[in-house]
Chains A and B, each alone.
Chain A
Amino acid sequence: MIGPIVLESSNNTVNFQGGNWLQTIDTSSGSLGINTRGAPFVVAGSIISGFQVAVLDPTTFALADRSLTNFTGEISENAAGPLRRHECGRGRWGAGLCRRAEFSCRRPGAGGIFRHSLGSDVVCLRRASGARQGGGSGPVVTTPPSGEATAMSDKSNSFAATGSARVSF
C-alpha cells in the first residue's frame, strides 16, 4: 500500500481482518477505534504525525499469506539464480574461498550443494568431459579449461541440485 491513509469523521474505525500490518493513519478528529479481532497490536503517534498501528497476527492465516509471498519470492530468486552465478577467480569468490570450496567438494560424502560460512551456497559440478578431480567418492568442483573452479553464489538454483546433500563449512 503506497500513499497516505486518511480517515476523517467523528467516528473513525479501522478493522484488521487477518494478516500482519504496519500502517500510519491520519485522522483529523483524533479518535480512532481499532479492531483486530483479538490479534495483538500497538498504537503509537499523535494526531499531528498520525497514528501508527502495528498488528501482529499469530494465526496460520497470516502465515499462509506470508508463506505464499515467500514461496513466490523464492521461485523468483531461484529463477534468477543462474544469472548470479560466479566463477572462482572472476566474481566475488576469491582464491581462498575457491580452495575451500574445492576442498569441501573433495571430502568423502560431500554433496553437490552446501552452504559456506558466508551464507552462500556452493554447487559442485561435474566436469562435462566426465574427468574427475581429486579422486575419492566425493563430488568434484568443475574445472573449466582455464583451470578455475566453478561455484554458484548464494540463491543458487536449488532445483538443479535436488537430491544433493548439503554440508556446512
Chain B
Amino acid sequence: MRRQCAGVLFFLAMLASSPASAQFMCTPPTSDPLTCTNSGNAPTLFTNTATGTNQNATTTNSGTASGFASQTTGGGVATATNSGSNIANGILAQTGAGGGNATVTNTGNDTGIGHAFSDVVALTLVSGDAMASNSGTIGDANAGNFSFLEARTQGSGNATAINSGSSTGGVVAETLGAGNASASNSGTTAGNVAAETMGAMPRRPIQVGPAGVAAATMASGNATATNSGSASGVAAATFAGGNATVINSGTANGGITVAALGGGSATLTNILGGR
C-alpha cells in the first residue's frame, strides 16, 4: 500500500512538471519562462501553458513530436520552435486574454499525416504581434498535404510571415483588427491560401488568391506580400482601409492580386528578375 501511494505521488509529480507528455520536459510551473523541450520521441500532442502575469512560455522540439504548442494567458510571450521533426497536429504559438507576442519558428520538418494538415501558426487573440517563420519544410505535396505557414492577429498587432524554405500550403499573414500584415517568400510555395473576410465588409466579394503568398488586413493597416522565390501566386488585400502592396522579383505562377477595397492604394512592383 505504501509503495502504491508512493507510485501515485510520483506519477502526480510527473504530471505537474510535464503537463501532457512525458517526452517534453518542463521547468517548474512558476518559472519564467516556462520552458518545455523535447529531444526524444513525443507521441502525443503537447501544450505548454503559462498562466502567470507576463509569464512567458517557450516550447522547443529537436526530436520527433506529434504536435506542440506554446500559449500564454497572462500577457507573456509565447514561443514555439521546431528544429526536429513534427509529424502531426502542427505547431502553434498563441497568446490569449492578457496579450503578448507570439512567435513560431520552423527550421526542421513539419509534415502532416496524409491529408491531415499540420500548420505552423503564430496567433494573438487580443493584442501583440504574431511572427511566423520557416526555413525548413512544411507539408508534403507528394502526399497531398498542403500545410501552411501563418501569422495572424485577431485584436491588434502586426502579423508577419516569412518563408525561406518550403511551405506547400503557402504563406499567409493576416490581421483582423488594427495592424499591418506582411507575408514574404524567398523559398517555395506550391499550394493555395486565401485571405478570409471577417468583420469588415468588402465593397464586393473578392477572392484574394488562391495565392502561395498572401497578406491581408481586415480592419486597418497595410498589407504587403513579397515574393522573391517561387510561389503559386501572390496577393495583398486590405478590406477596410490601408494600402495593399505586392512586390515580386521571383516566379509567380498563380497570378497576382492587389486589392485595397477600403480607400487605400494598390501597388504592384515588378523587380528585375521577376517572372
Interface residues of A (CB under 8 A from B): 1-19, 21, 23, 25, 57, 61-62, 65
Contact = CB atoms under 8 A, between A and B. Distances in A.
B137 to A, nearest CB: 24
Contact of B252 (A2, A11, A57): A2
A12 B265 contact: yes
Contact of B263 (A1, A10, A21, A23): A10
Interface string B211-250: 0000000000000000000000100000000001000100
Contacts of A1: 248, 251-253, 255-256, 274-275
B266 A7 contact: yes
Contact of B272 (A6, A7, A61): A61
Contacts of B27: none
Contacts of A57: 272
B169 to A, nearest CB: 18
Q: Tell me which of B248, B264, B273 has the highest count of chain A C-beta atoms within 10 A of its own C-beta.
A: B273
A4 B268 CA distance: 13
Given A3-B233, A12-B266, A16-B270, 16 more contacts: A1-B252, A2-B253, A3-B256, A4-B256, A6-B256, A7-B258, A7-B259, A8-B266, A13-B266, A14-B269, A15-B267, A19-B270, A21-B270, A23-B270, A62-B272, A65-B273
Contact of B268 (A3, A7, A10): A7
B255 A8 contact: no
A4 B235 CA distance: 11
Nearest to A25: B268
A3 B254 contact: yes
A47 B20 CA distance: 58
A139 to B, nearest CB: 43
B247 to A, nearest CB: 9
A19 B261 contact: no
Q: Tell me which of B244, B255, B270, B271 has the highest count of chain A C-beta atoms within 10 A of its own C-beta.
A: B270
B260 interface: yes
Nearest to B237: A8
A9 B260 contact: yes
B206 A8 contact: yes
A21 B269 CA distance: 12
B253 to A, nearest CB: 5
Contacts of B261: 8-9
Q: Tell me which of A4, A13, A23 has the highest count of chain B C-beta atoms within 10 A of its own C-beta.
A: A13
Given A2-B253, A6-B257, A8-B258, A14 B268 contact: yes
Interface in B178-234: 206, 233
Nearest to B271: A17
B228 to A, nearest CB: 12
Which 3 residue pairs of A and B lie closest in terms of their CB atoms, listed nearest first?
A: A3-B255, A18-B272, A9-B260
Contacts of B268: 5, 7, 13-15, 25
